[in-house]
Amino acid sequence: MIVFIEIFPVIVFIALIVMTILLRKKKNPEKLAVFFSVFALVCGIVHIFCEFYPFEYTGESGIDYIGQALIWGLFVNAILYTTLAAYVGFAIAATFFAVKAIKNKETRKKGIIALILGWICGLVISGLILTNIFSDYSNKKNIQVEVTEVSLTKSTDGEPAVRVELELYNGSKKEISYLSSVYEEVTQDGKELSHAPLFENINDDDPDIQFLEPGQSITIVKGYELEDPDDSVNILCRSYDGRFIYVDDEFEVER
């Protein structure tokens, strides 16, 4: 299902291109230009509406329901990508027939109108994309993560574990959560350590997925299985795209 969701926008785009090729020899290109440009305009408006007013997940919250939230997010992205693919496909088709219509003096006016209608949303969408890129860069840049404690402890199984305490500060201009904003990796001698359950985390309120308003901070506690209790650990915290490194340092395990 996930693969189908990802390739569906591509299928829509290819179908529109094939339709354009099949209709390329039809008479009255100005009518086809207007037809495709109107559909492009509608798809563009729907896409812009979904960008400004996304369908937020309103189901159960908590770590046990992350899967449902992720599936919801996939469907929302499918709507966004499908409407964008449909818009671009219709706009290209409208452009093809509009150019043919513009060559004829009698249909030139309709061709120009179709061209404008077909690409007016493109300017808005391009602006949105550029705005989102700069906004995303700024938001990730202003997130701060600090390692406040690295200490020896025991997991719920009684095995040696390292307790890593992190503080996340939201210096961005939007709501964020630790889980959606920070990728962390704890290694020892180059080997990634597996997560270890800690007693103090059994009844916590899932701080990983709590949303922080701009200017707020939260403390996150993680446990990891230790390969060697006497050896230091390396902690890496970065944005998921790897553009920003918040922490990348060696820490001695306190006893």
Predicted confidence (pLDDT) per residue in 125-148, tens digit: 888 778 888 888 999 999 999 999
Residue 245 — very low, low, confident or very high, per pLDDT cuts 50/70/90? very high
pTM: 0.62
Cα 162–chain centre separation: 31
- Lowest-confidence range among 26-30, 36-40, 110-114, 210-214? 26-30
Q: How far apart are CA 152 and CA 175, in angstroms?
A: 33
Contact between residue 236 and residue 248 where contact means Cβ atoms under 8 Å apart: yes
Residue (of 177, 162, 186, 172) closest to 255 by Cα position: 162
Report CA-CA distances (Å) from 222 to 9, 57, 126, 154: 39, 26, 41, 12
Contact between residue 151 and residue 162 where contact means Cβ atoms under 8 Å apart: yes
Contact between residue 46 and residue 38 where contact means Cβ atoms under 8 Å apart: no
Helix (H) or strand (E) holding 19: helix 2-22
> Helices 66-102 and 29-52: crossing angle, nearest 10°?
150
> Helices 108-141 and 29-52: crossing angle, nearest 10°?
20
Dmax over CA atoms of the chain, in Å, equals 86
pLDDT at 52 over 60: yes
Cα 211–chain centre separation: 16
7 vs 115, residue with greater confidence: 115
Share of the chain above pLDDT 70, in %: 91
Contact between residue 16 and residue 90 where contact means Cβ atoms under 8 Å apart: yes
Residue 221 — very low, low, confident or very high, per pLDDT cuts 50/70/90? very high
19 vs 194, residue with greater confidence: 194
* pLDDT per residue as tens digits for the range 155-210: 998 899 999 999 999 999 989 999 889 999 999 988 999 999 998 887 777 888 88
Contact between residue 94 and residue 36 where contact means Cβ atoms under 8 Å apart: yes
Distance from first CA to last CA of the chain, Å, rounded? 48
pLDDT of residue 76: 79
The arithmetic mean of pLDDT across residues 208-233, rounded, is 91
Q: How far apart are CA 248 and CA 240, in angstroms?
A: 14
* pLDDT per residue as tens digits for the range 59-79: 665 555 566 667 777 777 788
Contact between residue 60 and residue 68 where contact means Cβ atoms under 8 Å apart: yes
Identify the burial level of 85 via C-beta atoms within 10 angstroms of its C-beta, where 0-12 means exposed, 13-18 middle and 19 or more buried. buried
pLDDT of residue 50: 81
- Lowest-confidence range among 2-11, 171-180, 208-217? 2-11
Contact between residue 93 and residue 16 where contact means Cβ atoms under 8 Å apart: yes
* Type of residue at 30: E
Share of the chain above pLDDT 90, in %: 43
pLDDT at 232 over 60: yes
pLDDT of residue 148: 96
Residue 252 — very low, low, confident or very high, per pLDDT cuts 50/70/90? very high
233 vs 227, residue with greater confidence: 233
- Lowest-confidence range among 72-81, 104-113, 183-192, 233-242? 72-81
| Average confidence score pLDDT of the chain | 86
Q: Token pair 């800690």 is at which residue?
A: 198
